[in-house]
Structure 1
Protein backbone atom coordinates (compact mmCIF):
# COMPACT_ATOMS: atom_id res chain seq x y z
CA UNK A 1 0.00 0.00 0.00
CA UNK A 2 1.23 3.48 -0.75
CA UNK A 3 0.27 6.83 0.74
CA UNK A 4 -2.44 7.60 -1.81
CA UNK A 5 -4.05 4.18 -1.40
CA UNK A 6 -4.05 4.73 2.38
CA UNK A 7 -5.76 8.14 2.11
CA UNK A 8 -8.19 6.83 -0.51
CA UNK A 9 -9.13 3.95 1.82
CA UNK A 10 -9.93 6.44 4.59
CA UNK A 11 -12.09 8.42 2.17
CA UNK A 12 -13.93 5.28 1.00
CA UNK A 13 -14.53 4.28 4.64
CA UNK A 14 -15.98 7.72 5.34
CA UNK A 15 -18.30 7.42 2.33
CA UNK A 16 -19.40 3.91 3.37
CA UNK A 17 -20.20 5.07 6.90
CA UNK A 18 -22.20 8.03 5.56
CA UNK A 19 -24.23 5.74 3.30
CA UNK A 20 -24.85 3.28 6.16
CA UNK A 21 -25.97 5.99 8.59
CA UNK A 22 -28.43 7.49 6.12
CA UNK A 23 -29.71 4.30 4.50
CA UNK A 24 -33.38 3.36 4.82
CA UNK A 25 -32.30 -0.18 5.70
CA UNK A 26 -29.55 0.81 8.13
CA UNK A 27 -28.58 -1.62 10.84
CA UNK A 28 -26.23 0.77 12.65
CA UNK A 29 -27.22 2.34 15.95
CA UNK A 30 -26.52 5.83 14.61
CA UNK A 31 -28.58 5.14 11.50
CA UNK A 32 -31.47 3.86 13.61
CA UNK A 33 -31.35 7.03 15.75
CA UNK A 34 -31.41 9.23 12.65
CA UNK A 35 -34.24 7.19 11.17
CA UNK A 36 -36.23 7.51 14.43
CA UNK A 37 -36.33 11.29 13.96
CA UNK A 38 -38.74 10.88 11.02
CA UNK A 39 -37.16 13.82 9.23
CA UNK A 40 -38.77 15.66 6.36
CA UNK A 41 -36.86 15.62 3.06
CA UNK A 42 -35.46 19.07 3.81
CA UNK A 43 -34.39 18.04 7.31
CA UNK A 44 -32.86 14.83 5.94
CA UNK A 45 -30.77 16.89 3.50
CA UNK A 46 -29.51 19.02 6.39
CA UNK A 47 -28.79 15.92 8.47
CA UNK A 48 -26.79 14.45 5.57
CA UNK A 49 -24.70 17.62 5.39
CA UNK A 50 -24.14 17.59 9.16
CA UNK A 51 -23.08 13.93 9.29
CA UNK A 52 -20.94 14.32 6.17
CA UNK A 53 -19.22 17.34 7.70
CA UNK A 54 -18.57 15.54 10.98
CA UNK A 55 -17.10 12.52 9.22
CA UNK A 56 -14.97 14.68 6.91
CA UNK A 57 -13.58 16.71 9.82
CA UNK A 58 -12.87 13.57 11.85
CA UNK A 59 -11.17 11.51 9.15
CA UNK A 60 -9.24 14.50 7.81
CA UNK A 61 -8.04 15.45 11.30
CA UNK A 62 -6.86 11.91 12.04
CA UNK A 63 -4.94 11.72 8.77
CA UNK A 64 -3.25 15.07 9.36
CA UNK A 65 -2.46 14.03 12.92
CA UNK A 66 -0.76 10.85 11.70
CA UNK A 67 1.22 12.91 9.21
CA UNK A 68 2.39 15.31 11.93
CA UNK A 69 0.56 18.26 10.38
CA UNK A 70 -1.99 18.54 13.21
CA UNK A 71 -2.31 17.37 16.78
CA UNK A 72 -4.10 14.28 18.01
CA UNK A 73 -5.47 15.37 21.35
CA UNK A 74 -2.84 17.81 22.54
CA UNK A 75 0.11 15.97 21.01
CA UNK A 76 1.54 16.89 17.64
CA UNK A 77 4.22 14.65 16.22
CA UNK A 78 4.83 12.76 13.01
CA UNK A 79 4.28 9.02 12.99
CA UNK A 80 5.92 6.47 10.76
CA UNK A 81 3.32 4.06 9.42
CA UNK A 82 4.08 0.94 7.43
CA UNK A 83 1.78 -1.64 5.90
CA UNK A 84 2.13 -5.32 6.69
CA UNK A 85 4.70 -5.70 3.90
CA UNK A 86 6.91 -2.99 5.37
CA UNK A 87 5.99 -0.35 2.79
CA UNK A 88 6.14 3.06 4.43
CA UNK A 89 2.88 5.01 4.20
CA UNK A 90 3.83 8.18 6.06
CA UNK A 91 6.54 9.74 8.16
CA UNK A 92 10.22 10.23 7.54
CA UNK A 93 10.90 11.16 3.93
CA UNK A 94 7.15 10.88 3.22
CA UNK A 95 6.11 13.38 5.89
CA UNK A 96 3.59 15.84 4.47
CA UNK A 97 2.33 13.58 1.67
CA UNK A 98 -0.82 12.61 3.54
CA UNK A 99 -1.71 16.26 4.08
CA UNK A 100 -1.89 17.08 0.37
CA UNK A 101 -3.66 13.89 -0.59
CA UNK A 102 -6.15 14.19 2.27
CA UNK A 103 -7.03 17.70 1.15
CA UNK A 104 -7.62 16.46 -2.39
CA UNK A 105 -9.79 13.51 -1.32
CA UNK A 106 -11.74 15.18 1.49
CA UNK A 107 -12.11 18.77 0.28
CA UNK A 108 -11.57 18.98 -3.47
CA UNK A 109 -13.36 15.81 -4.59
CA UNK A 110 -16.56 16.43 -2.65
Structure 2
Protein backbone atom coordinates (compact mmCIF):
# COMPACT_ATOMS: atom_id res chain seq x y z
CA UNK A 1 0.00 0.00 0.00
CA UNK A 2 1.30 3.42 -0.88
CA UNK A 3 1.00 6.57 1.24
CA UNK A 4 -1.76 7.87 -0.99
CA UNK A 5 -3.85 4.72 -0.58
CA UNK A 6 -3.27 4.72 3.18
CA UNK A 7 -4.33 8.34 3.58
CA UNK A 8 -7.41 7.73 1.44
CA UNK A 9 -8.32 4.67 3.54
CA UNK A 10 -8.04 6.78 6.70
CA UNK A 11 -10.26 9.43 5.08
CA UNK A 12 -12.83 6.78 4.19
CA UNK A 13 -12.80 5.54 7.79
CA UNK A 14 -13.38 9.10 9.03
CA UNK A 15 -16.29 9.47 6.61
CA UNK A 16 -17.76 6.14 7.71
CA UNK A 17 -17.55 7.11 11.37
CA UNK A 18 -19.22 10.46 10.77
CA UNK A 19 -21.97 8.75 8.81
CA UNK A 20 -22.61 6.22 11.59
CA UNK A 21 -22.63 9.01 14.20
CA UNK A 22 -25.16 10.99 12.16
CA UNK A 23 -27.50 8.02 11.66
CA UNK A 24 -30.02 8.00 14.53
CA UNK A 25 -30.42 4.24 14.16
CA UNK A 26 -26.72 3.66 13.52
CA UNK A 27 -26.21 1.87 16.81
CA UNK A 28 -23.27 4.02 17.96
CA UNK A 29 -23.02 5.63 21.37
CA UNK A 30 -22.53 8.98 19.66
CA UNK A 31 -25.74 8.56 17.65
CA UNK A 32 -27.60 7.63 20.83
CA UNK A 33 -26.30 10.76 22.60
CA UNK A 34 -27.34 12.95 19.70
CA UNK A 35 -30.80 11.42 19.70
CA UNK A 36 -31.14 11.80 23.48
CA UNK A 37 -30.13 15.45 23.27
CA UNK A 38 -33.38 16.25 21.49
CA UNK A 39 -31.77 18.77 19.18
CA UNK A 40 -33.72 20.81 16.68
CA UNK A 41 -32.82 20.13 13.03
CA UNK A 42 -30.67 23.27 12.88
CA UNK A 43 -28.89 22.40 16.13
CA UNK A 44 -28.28 18.85 14.92
CA UNK A 45 -26.82 20.23 11.69
CA UNK A 46 -24.42 22.46 13.65
CA UNK A 47 -23.36 19.65 15.99
CA UNK A 48 -22.69 17.35 13.03
CA UNK A 49 -20.69 20.12 11.32
CA UNK A 50 -18.58 20.47 14.47
CA UNK A 51 -18.07 16.69 14.61
CA UNK A 52 -17.10 16.70 10.94
CA UNK A 53 -14.44 19.33 11.59
CA UNK A 54 -13.20 17.59 14.74
CA UNK A 55 -12.86 14.22 13.02
CA UNK A 56 -11.04 15.80 10.09
CA UNK A 57 -8.63 17.61 12.38
CA UNK A 58 -8.00 14.49 14.49
CA UNK A 59 -7.40 12.06 11.62
CA UNK A 60 -5.37 14.53 9.56
CA UNK A 61 -3.19 15.47 12.53
CA UNK A 62 -2.56 11.81 13.34
CA UNK A 63 -1.38 11.15 9.79
CA UNK A 64 0.92 14.18 9.94
CA UNK A 65 2.28 13.00 13.29
CA UNK A 66 3.11 9.59 11.83
CA UNK A 67 5.10 11.33 9.10
CA UNK A 68 6.87 13.57 11.62
CA UNK A 69 5.33 16.87 10.59
CA UNK A 70 3.12 17.27 13.68
CA UNK A 71 3.49 16.28 17.31
CA UNK A 72 1.87 13.26 18.87
CA UNK A 73 1.35 13.55 22.60
CA UNK A 74 3.62 16.57 22.74
CA UNK A 75 6.52 14.81 21.03
CA UNK A 76 7.44 15.29 17.41
CA UNK A 77 9.26 12.53 15.60
CA UNK A 78 8.63 10.48 12.51
CA UNK A 79 7.58 6.87 12.52
CA UNK A 80 8.21 4.14 10.03
CA UNK A 81 4.89 2.69 8.97
CA UNK A 82 4.79 -0.23 6.54
CA UNK A 83 2.22 -2.70 5.32
CA UNK A 84 2.38 -6.50 5.51
CA UNK A 85 4.37 -6.60 2.27
CA UNK A 86 7.02 -4.30 3.69
CA UNK A 87 6.01 -1.37 1.51
CA UNK A 88 6.78 1.84 3.41
CA UNK A 89 3.76 4.08 3.95
CA UNK A 90 5.50 6.69 6.11
CA UNK A 91 9.12 7.29 7.08
CA UNK A 92 9.35 11.02 7.63
CA UNK A 93 10.02 11.96 4.02
CA UNK A 94 6.76 13.92 3.59
CA UNK A 95 4.95 11.42 1.37
CA UNK A 96 2.25 10.71 3.95
CA UNK A 97 1.91 14.39 4.79
CA UNK A 98 1.29 15.22 1.12
CA UNK A 99 -1.10 12.29 0.71
CA UNK A 100 -3.00 13.34 3.84
CA UNK A 101 -3.40 16.88 2.54
CA UNK A 102 -4.77 15.56 -0.73
CA UNK A 103 -7.15 13.10 0.94
CA UNK A 104 -8.48 15.48 3.56
CA UNK A 105 -8.35 18.88 1.91
CA UNK A 106 -8.05 18.69 -1.88
CA UNK A 107 -10.54 15.83 -2.25
CA UNK A 108 -12.88 16.82 0.54
CA UNK A 109 -16.50 16.23 -0.18
In 2, Cα distance between the equivalents of 1:43 and 1:21? 15
1:20 maps to: 20
> Which runs of at least 4 in structure 1 moved beyond 4 Å after TM superposition?
none
Q: Structure 1: 5+ residue runs without aligned partners?
A: none
Supply the RMSD in Å over aligned alpha carbons.
1.1
1:47 maps to: 47
- Tell me the number of residue pairs that the alignment of Structure 1 and Structure 2 aligns: 108
Q: Deviation of residue 32 (structure 1)?
A: 0.6
SS at structure 2 position matched to 1:74: coil
Please report the TM-score for the alignment, with normalisation by the length of structure 2.
0.93
In 2, Cα distance between the equivalents of 1:87 and 1:99? 17
In 2, Cα distance between the equivalents of 1:85 and 1:47? 41
Tell me if structure 1 keeps the 8 A contact 2:24–2:32.
no
Q: Deviation of residue 105 (structure 1)?
A: 1.5
1:97 maps to: 95
Please report the TM-score for the alignment, with normalisation by the length of structure 1.
0.93
In 1, Cα distance between the equivalents of 2:85 and 2:48? 37
In 1, Cα distance between the equivalents of 2:97 and 2:71? 13
